[in-house]
């Protein structure tokens, strides 16, 4: 009974200390309007800071020649006598790669030279005939003129005059025939000379030469085979030995690529990365794979081989810019947002983003340097919440 009285007395004393508002409102409503630090949730925040970011596009593909040159024989039907180049050789423009047999062509050349001598003799004969025809024509003309004069004086008969006139006409016709025969003989000489020149050209083409300097990557020619342009090329060259990486790029990233952008190239077996530069970006997208293609020149062609698979890290842009952790970015119907913290109060702020690298993302607009944001957008905080900010430990970028 004594214990019950003590408990009642203590409860009465506690109730006497509780403040009561006019109208009967309880003190708890005032207490809720001013949260105390000890009751606020501790939330990790990060400061928007200036860092150096790089925008990169990762691609991969196979190494291929910048330009492939096929070497075919310029004459056909001749057997291959010698081969002077093999796969892997570096050749210069005009260098003899193979030699075709020229025995048949040399025989034809001898025949043409004999034909030329005959044609030239016919020209000389036609010239002599022309001189003879002209002499006869001149003589017939003089006789015709004398006979016509005598006929006018009555000293020659009409028959003699007619005969002299006919002889003059015939002699002049003989000159015309002789001229034509001479022209025909000269034309025959030109024909044979053209045949000889063509044969000389074919003789020079029995040497299969490299049209450009480069590296021999394939040889299909064999000694004894008959040269023909209808089959596989005799040699395949890589012009100037230049190779490039034909890197496949996702369709959404192709628009970022431009000629001249640097790239870092890696491949299995290389002790260190190689450097390269985008030479061109193909203007079409593959309709089957939905991939674009960038052609990247390799600065060290001696370190790579045709057909090698390589990865490319293409540097699209780099700059010092304002950045926050990627995890701080949330999504809303209007776009990207962050939970900005000002004096311990959270507010949702829309932002425009840019480059992303190593867990950081560029903030183009929406924040200033030093602004605090909730590090993890998925944290259970809402617009207007009061929190206890806990700075994130940031390493050096």
Give me the long-range contacts of 363-366 (CB less than 8 A, separation at least 24).
363/48, 363/321, 363/322, 363/323, 363/324, 366/338
Taking only the tens place, the pLDDT of each residue in 92-101 is: 999 999 999 9
Query: What pLDDT sits at residue 23?
Result: 37
pLDDT-above-70 percentage for the chain? 89
The whole-angstrom separation of Cα 219 and Cα 88 is: 10
Instruction: Kindly state whether residue 397 falls inside one of the protein's structural domains.
Output: no
Residues 323 and 309 in one domain: no
> Does 29 score more than 80 pLDDT?
no
- If one compares 58 and 33, the residue with the highest pLDDT of the two is 58
Domains of the chain: total: 5
Instruction: Kindly state whether residue 233 falls inside one of the protein's structural domains.
Output: yes
Instruction: Kindly state whether residue 253 falls inside one of the protein's structural domains.
Output: yes
> Does 27 score more than 80 pLDDT?
no
Q: Which residues, in sequence order, are bridge partners of residue 346?
A: 341
Residues 353 and 379 in one domain: yes
Contacts of 249 (CB under 8 A, 6+ apart): 57, 59, 257, 291, 292, 293, 294
What mean pLDDT value characterizes the chain? 86
Reading phi first (left if > 0) and then psi (alpha if -120 to 50, else beta), residue 108 is in: alpha
Instruction: Kindly state whether residue 70 falls inside one of the protein's structural domains.
Output: no
> Does 208 score more than 90 pLDDT?
yes
The whole-angstrom separation of Cα 191 and Cα 219 is: 39
Tokens representing residue 344 in the block: 């311990």
**Residue 153's pLDDT band (cuts 50, 70, 90):** confident
3-state secondary structure the chain: CHHHHHHHHHHHHHHHCCCCCHHHCCCHHHHHHCCCHHHCCEEEEEECEEEEEEEEEEEEEEEEECCEEEECCCCCCCEEEEECCCCCCEECCCCEEEEECCHHHHHHHHHHHHHHHHHHHHHHHHHHHHHHHHHHHHHHHHHHHHHHHHHHHCCCCHHHHHHHHHHHHHHHHHHHHHHHHHHHHHHHHHHHHHHHHHHHHHHHCCEEECCCCEEEEEECCCCCCECCCCCCCCEEEEECCCEEEEEEEEHHHHHHCCCCCEEEEECCCCCCCEEEEEEEECCCCCCCCCEEEEEEEECCHHHCCCCCEEEEEEEEEEEEEEEEEHHHCEEECCEEEEEEEECCEEEEEECEEEEEECCEEEEEECCCCCCEEECCCCCCCCCCCECEEEECCCCCC
Residues 284 and 312 in one domain: yes
> Does 308 score more than 90 pLDDT?
yes
Domain that holds residue 47: 37-53+319-391
CATH number at residue 265: 2.40.30.170
Residues 290 and 248 in one domain: yes
Residues 11 and 85 in one domain: no
Query: What pLDDT sits at residue 394?
Result: 57
**Residue 34's pLDDT band (cuts 50, 70, 90):** very low
Q: By mean pLDDT, which of 199-208, 234-243, 247-256, 329-338 is the weakest?
A: 329-338
| Predicted model pTM | 0.65
Give me the mean pLDDT over the 54-71 stretch: 94
The whole-angstrom separation of Cα 105 and Cα 374 is: 88
**Residue 230's pLDDT band (cuts 50, 70, 90):** confident
Instruction: Kindly state whether residue 71 falls inside one of the protein's structural domains.
Output: no
Instruction: Kindly state whether residue 340 falls inside one of the protein's structural domains.
Output: yes
Taking only the tens place, the pLDDT of each residue in 167-200 is: 889 988 988 998 999 999 999 999 999 999 999 9
Residues 229 and 245 in one domain: no
> Does 112 score more than 60 pLDDT?
yes
Instruction: Kindly state whether residue 200 falls inside one of the protein's structural domains.
Output: yes
Residues 123 and 195 in one domain: yes
Q: By mean pLDDT, which of 35-39, 46-50, 155-159 is the weakest?
A: 35-39
Tokens representing residue 309 in the block: 């698979």
Residues 183 and 313 in one domain: no
Instruction: Kindly state whether residue 396 falls inside one of the protein's structural domains.
Output: no
Residues 197 and 345 in one domain: no
Residues 130 and 256 in one domain: no
For strands 49-65 and 372-374, give the pairing: unpaired
Q: Which residues, in sequence order, are bridge partners of residue 264?
A: 275, 313
Q: How many CA atoms lie within 13 A of 113 on its CB side?
A: 7
**Residue 33's pLDDT band (cuts 50, 70, 90):** very low
The total of other beta-carbon atoms located within 10 Å of residue 152's CB is: 10
Residues 108 and 197 in one domain: yes
Give me the mean pLDDT over the 126-138 stretch: 90
Taking only the tens place, the pLDDT of each residue in 210-228 is: 999 999 999 999 999 999 8
CATH number at residue 354: 2.40.420.20
> Does 353 score more than 50 pLDDT?
yes
- If one compares 94 and 6, the residue with the highest pLDDT of the two is 94
**Residue 71's pLDDT band (cuts 50, 70, 90):** very high
Angle (CA) 179-182-183 rounded to 5° is: 90
Query: What pLDDT sits at residue 38?
Result: 54
> Does 342 score more than 90 pLDDT?
yes
**Residue 311's pLDDT band (cuts 50, 70, 90):** very high
- Closest C-alpha to 244, from 217, 279, 214: 279
Query: What pLDDT sits at residue 118?
Result: 92
Contacts of 121 (CB under 8 A, 6+ apart): none
> Does 351 score more than 60 pLDDT?
yes
Residues 343 and 281 in one domain: no
Angle (CA) 35-39-43 rounded to 5° is: 100
Query: What pLDDT sits at residue 9?
Result: 37
């Amino acid at each position: 009974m004594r214990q019950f009285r003590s408990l009642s007395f203590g409860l009465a004393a506690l109730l006497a200390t509780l403040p009561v508002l006019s109208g009967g409102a309880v003190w708890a409503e005032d207490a809720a309007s001013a949260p105390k630090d000890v009751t606020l949730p501790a939330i990790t925040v990060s400061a928007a800071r200036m860092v150096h970011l790089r925008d990169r596009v990762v691609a991969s593909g196979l190494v291929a020649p910048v330009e492939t040159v096929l070497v075919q024989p310029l004459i056909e039907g001749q057997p291959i006598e010698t081969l002077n180049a093999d796969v892997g050789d570096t050749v210069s423009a005009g260098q003899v790669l193979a030699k075709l047999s020229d025995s048949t062509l040399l025989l034809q050349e001898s025949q043409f030279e004999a034909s030329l001598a005959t044609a030239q003799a016919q020209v000389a004969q036609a010239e002599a005939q022309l001189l003879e025809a002209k002499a006869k024509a001149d003589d017939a003309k003089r006789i015709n003129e004398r006979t016509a004069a005598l006929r006018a004086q009555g000293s020659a008969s009409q028959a003699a005059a007619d005969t002299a006139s006919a002889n003059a006409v015939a002699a002049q016709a003989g000159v015309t025939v002789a001229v034509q025969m001479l022209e025909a003989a000269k034309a025959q000489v030109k024909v044979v000379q053209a045949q000889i020149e063509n044969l000389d050209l074919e003789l020079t083409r029995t040497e299969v030469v490299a049209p450009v300097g480069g590296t021999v990557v394939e040889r299909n020619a064999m000694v004894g085979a008959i040269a023909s342009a209808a089959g596989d090329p005799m040699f395949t060259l890589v012009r100037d030995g230049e190779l490039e990486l034909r890197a496949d790029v996702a369709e959404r990233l192709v628009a970022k690529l431009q000629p001249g952008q640097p790239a870092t190239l890696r491949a299995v077996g290389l002790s260190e990365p190689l450097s390269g530069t985008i030479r061109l970006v193909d203007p079409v997208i593959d309709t089957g794979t939905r991939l674009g293609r960038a052609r990247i020149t390799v600065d060290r062609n001696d370190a790579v081989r045709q057909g090698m698979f390589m990865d490319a890290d293409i540097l699209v842009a780099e700059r010092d810019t304002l950045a926050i952790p990627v995890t701080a970015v949330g999504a809303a119907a209007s776009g990207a947002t962050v939970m900005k913290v000002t004096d311990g109060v959270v507010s949702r702020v829309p932002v425009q983003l840019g480059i992303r690298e190593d867990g950081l993302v560029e903030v183009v607009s929406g924040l200033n340097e030093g602004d605090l944001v909730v590090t993890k957008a998925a944290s259970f905080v809402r617009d207007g919440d009061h929190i206890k900010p806990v700075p994130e430990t940031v390493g050096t970028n």
